[in-house]
């Protein structure tokens, strides 16, 4: 991992920096590149624009590691209301939520019930729910959560990270469920004990796990902006049998070109006030992005 990426990922955990940043107007200007606005209405408006050009969307409310179950209850209720808005506006939009935002570490039973309630309501309104994957120490609990929701008869998608050594085994263990998996490279600061330190190994693992999913009866979604990887998947498998998901504001012209070429594309749109850790992870993915922040400081 590069030094710049490691420093940025460590900074993403600082509450003090988050406080400082949220108050500054330059930071709000810079973050606009990656999210249309802090409120759900801005995200829904952006989703409606994507729908006009045949691109589906996922919405996620930013926030992680909340402090009590009441907050988790509030997050669940906000997502339930969001699903109603998605139905009212007839949008081809799914939702994606972090387990720690729905209380996984505080009350696993509440978290499980919250995802089940969301999955049920999503099915009623023609939408779908995704479970994001967070740091490596949450993987066991997140897999257990996924299995429990499945056992309760509800369908949700699960993100899995190619930078973790363990992921091929984890994929094997859930393939019998015919799961819907979003394969990502992984966005957190992980040690060499659990994750590949070299990006080239993460990229190689990404394609290998992609094959595992494509050939193992899963419903794969490739959550990546890596056009070389996408090209390779298309060369091997054509345009059907998988989707490509990207983040709002990244490789926007590729998003449209891929959709026009017949591949199913969705864009993940974030909203919410607690954008600091998430935003700094986006900077860490491409430290050159830091220049956008610097330029914004000078207006």
Ligand X SMILES: Cc1cc2nc3c(=O)[nH]c(=O)nc-3n(C[C@H](O)[C@H](O)[C@H](O)COP(=O)(O)OP(=O)(O)OC[C@H]3O[C@@H](n4cnc5c(N)ncnc54)[C@H](O)[C@@H]3O)c2cc1C
Q: Which of 230, 247, 258, 259 binds ligand X (CB under 6 A)?
A: 247
- Pick from 93, 127, 224, 296 the residue near ligand X by CB under 6 A: 224
By CB under 6 A, tell whether 141 contacts ligand X.
Answer: no
Whether 132 is catalytic is yes
Query: Residue 5 and residue 192: Cα distance in Å, rounded?
Result: 14
* Chosen residue from 225, 234, 237, 256 binding ligand X by CB under 6 A: 225
**Closest CB 131 distance from ligand X, rounded Å:** 8
**Minimum distance from CB of 158 to ligand X (Å)?**
9
Q: Is 184 in the site for ligand X (CB under 6 A)?
A: yes
What are the backbone dihedrals phi and psi of residue 240, each rounded to the nearest 5 degrees, phi first? -105, 165
Is residue 145 part of the contact set for ligand X (CB under 6 A)?
A: no
Q: Which of 223, 271, 231 is nearest to 247 (CA)?
A: 223
Q: Does 233 sit near ligand X (CB under 6 A)?
A: no
Active site residue 182: yes
String marking each residue 81-110 x if it binds ligand X according to CB under 6 A: ------------------------------
Q: What DSSP letter does each residue of 48-71 carry, written as one string?
A: HHHHHTT-EEEEEE---S-SSHHH
Nearest-angstrom CA–CA distance, 205 and 141: 23
Residue environment code for 222-256, b if the CB has 16+ CB neighbours within 10 A, otherwise e? bbbbeeebbeebbeeeeeeebbbbbbbbbbeeebe
Under 8 Å between Cβ of 80 and 39: no
Catalytic residues: 132, 182
Binding site for ligand X (CB under 6 A): 132-133, 159, 161, 182, 184-188, 223-226, 245-247, 250-251, 268, 282, 285-286, 289
């Amino acid at each position: 991992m590069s030094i710049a990426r490691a420093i940025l990922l460590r900074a993403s955990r600082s509450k003090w920096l988050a406080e400082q940043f949220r108050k500054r107007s330059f930071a709000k200007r810079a973050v606009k590149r990656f999210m249309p606005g802090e409120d759900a209405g801005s995200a829904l408006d952006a989703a409606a624009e994507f729908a006009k050009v045949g691109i589906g969307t996922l919405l996620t409310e930013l926030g992680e590691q909340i402090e009590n179950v009441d907050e988790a209850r509030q997050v669940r209720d906000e997502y339930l209301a969001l699903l109603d808005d998605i139905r009212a506006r007839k949008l081809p939009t799914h939702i994606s939520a972090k387990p720690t935002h729905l209380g996984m570490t505080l009350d696993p039973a509440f978290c499980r019930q919250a995802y089940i309630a969301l999955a049920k309501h999503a099915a009623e309104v023609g939408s779908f729910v995704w479970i994001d994957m967070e740091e490596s120490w949450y993987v066991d609990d997140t897999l257990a959560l996924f299995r429990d929701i499945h056992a309760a008869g509800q369908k949700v998608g699960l993100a899995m990270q190619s930078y973790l050594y363990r992921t091929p085994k984890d994929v094997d263990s859930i393939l019998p469920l015919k799961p819907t998996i979003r394969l990502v490279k992984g966005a957190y600061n992980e040690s060499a004990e659990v994750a590949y330190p070299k990006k080239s190994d993460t990229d190689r693992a990404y394609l290998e796990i992609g094959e595992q999913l494509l050939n193992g009866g899963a419903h794969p979604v490739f959550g990546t902006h890596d056009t070389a990887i996408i090209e390779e998947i298309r060369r091997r498998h054509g345009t059907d049998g998988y989707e490509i998901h990207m983040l709002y504001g990244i490789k926007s012209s590729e998003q449209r070109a891929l959709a026009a070429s017949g591949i199913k594309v969705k864009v993940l749109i974030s909203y919410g006030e607690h954008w600091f850790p998430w935003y700094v992870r986006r900077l860490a993915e491409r430290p050159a992005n830091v220049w956008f922040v610097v330029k914004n400081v000078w207006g």
